[in-house]
Amino acid sequence: MSDTHDGQLATTVEKVVEEFGGKFIVETGVPWRSTIVNWKKSSGSVIHLTAYGLRLQDVIEEIKSVKSDKLIIVGAEKMPGEVFQLADWNVAVTNQPISEVSALGIFLDWLSDHHMREEFPGARRKILPSGHGKNVLGIN
């Protein structure tokens, strides 16, 4: 989420969802503060991934017990302090520096009880495990 529109990012995510299925939404170019406030007004939960938060393993069960839709904010170097106050949970995947993409992947793995879905509804393609090379199956 960013105040700057990134059409390429939105297009890439839409193409991945179209091919591999699932429910994933990305919006860019919208003011972050109003996005968070409106999300919370619609009864959604806000999780902010940051190295300065509570340990993931200490809060993950509480997060999973809340059945609302979840907005995940991935921290960056210049994250406004207000985000820490607006978030329902400030969560540290690790208290060491880690890439934002890695933090998101690890968090989603824990959120799914380490059982990331092999196939999402609406998929046109499915990646098959392979020790060498790429093996992608078209689904009709």
Q: What is the 3-state secondary structure (H, E, C) of the chain?
A: CCCCCCHHHHHHHHHHHHHHCCCCCCCCCCCHHHHHHHHHHCCCEEEEEEEEEEEHHHHHHHHHHCCCCEEEEECCCCCCHHHHHHCCEEEECCCCCCCHHHHHHHHHHHHCCCCCCCCCCCCCEEECCCCCCCCEEECC
pLDDT value of residue 4: 79
Of residues 129 and 90, more confidently modeled: 90
Dump pLDDT digits (tens) for 27-52: 788 888 999 999 999 999 999 999 89
* Lookup result for tokens 């093996």: 135
The sign one gets for the Cα dihedral 103, 108, 110, 115 is negative
Cα–Cα distance for residue pair 71/87, rounded to 1 Å? 9
pLDDT score of 2 more than 80? no
pLDDT value of residue 29: 85
Percent of the chain with pLDDT over 90: 50
In 3D, which of 2, 52, 56 has the Cα closest to residue 29? 2
pLDDT value of residue 95: 85
Q: CA 94: distance to chain centroid?
A: 16
pLDDT value of residue 83: 94
Was domain 43-138 assigned CATH 3.40.1280.10?
A: yes
pLDDT score of 1 more than 60? no
Calculate the average pLDDT of the chain: 89
pLDDT score of 26 more than 60? yes
Mean pLDDT of 120-134: 89
